[in-house]
Structure 1
Amino acid sequence: MTSLSILGTKIRQDAEGRFCLNDCHKASGGENKNRPSIWVDNSQTKALIAEIQAEAGIPALTSIKGGNASGTYACKELVYAYAMWISPAFHLQVIRAFDALVTGQIAAPALSEQEIVAQALQITVRQIEELKAENAILAPKAEVAEKIADSDGLYTLNLSAKAAQMPLSQFTRAAHANGFIFKQNGKWNAYSDKVKAGYCYVKFHPYRDRDGDERFSPQVFFTPKGITRLVKISGQH
């Protein structure tokens, strides 16, 4: 049987076919903050393990101590969840590795972070278009997804957060903490240096205030380059 390999690292399996999370951790770069033990202690992880075990009737996670096979072993669903917790980039590599295992093909070479984010954006856009098509049949007047800003590769904060696999609130906090955006009259705006660097773009929409004077409200967009940079420096997953 062909063994699973992620980014050149062979992933061991136990007698029940579960995969070694310690090997996955090594394949991801081996950062201390991404240790399997930290992820397993997460309350969401524990809930997921319980759900899988209740459905499958067998342990979804187990540990082997001592010997060459020592480590924490998990079912495929938990490997996916662990990879997503580490980073969007590593999650994509794990998906490809499992696809290669099923088809018997060699996994595709690793992409750069910017290429991975760009692919994630394409997937998000495709999903939105599919939702729009479904909703056009069920409820023509309902809006089911936020529109892409334009054809120049600009993405709203909502879509940017989805591409980075963060909740919107987490994404905006990270962007604010790392000097990408700031609040102005209750609206997000982008710092000029990030705009000049090609990380962000700001559109100003005209409106009338209570006195009838014309004002302009900012709307921030991120580029794939900006999303890549924020994910890299923020350490948010």
Structure 2
Amino acid sequence: MVVRQDTHGRYSLNDLHRAAGLEDRHQPAYFLRNDGVRALIEEVQSANLQTAPVEAVNGGPNRGTYACRTVALRYAAWISAPFEFKVYKVLEDYLDGRLVPATPALPSGYIDALEALVVAEKEKLRLSEVATQQAQQLEAQGRVIEEQRPAMEFLERFVKAKGSAGVRRVAKGINRRQNDLVRDLLRDRVLYYEGRHLVPFAKYQDKGYFVVKLGEKNGHAFTHARFTSAGVQWAAARYGREAPCESAARLLPAAPQPAAQLPLLPESTQP
């Protein structure tokens, strides 16, 4: 005998009716019309106001009438004494641990469908995570491109201009501090000081990275190094930083200017 229970632990009177032989005169509806049964239900209800002692489910796979244990046992007694004894016997075996409630087996087709659904949901979640990671990577790449754009525009415009630029302008264009760039150029023996001004070693001047310009200040003539377009590309590749600190494209003049009009290195950069 299998008697279903609802979520509140109430027993199916329809299952008890079926176990008793399904006689028409033993229908749960007739039982619930009994005055004594109604009085019992009222007593049970007054003792437990949270859950109704009897409830009818009109639709779905679990439709039927469900009653608390007290009312269900009264129903078994109302049907017949022998049936009441059988119900009490089953209840005793269950309470004593000699009877394990039966767990209804799910159809194999349902289990297969459920497993397929779980696999599909896992794959959907995986693809969603992959798509999110790819979107984040593309966004990060886009930010890097946007950050590098000013320095790249500076280099492109300078190369097209076919002019020359001083150390200060090149340092800004490749996102380096001027003093740091000068320090690196001195360390690598690319430039050296001649008096107060920087001039290139012959090796790098011969490679076309620098030109030496003549200038005049306070009546004194001097020479100083300026980067060519090839020198700017070389310096960017060797000493440049990835993320520019400002728009380097604005640092390049529209046309080459005379050396005397360009800013010189401050005296503090002397060795």
TM superposition score category, shorter chain reference: 0.3 to 0.5
Considering only CA atoms, is the larger Rg found in Structure 1 or Structure 2? 2
More strand by share: 1
Normalised by the size of structure 2, how large is the TM-score? 0.36
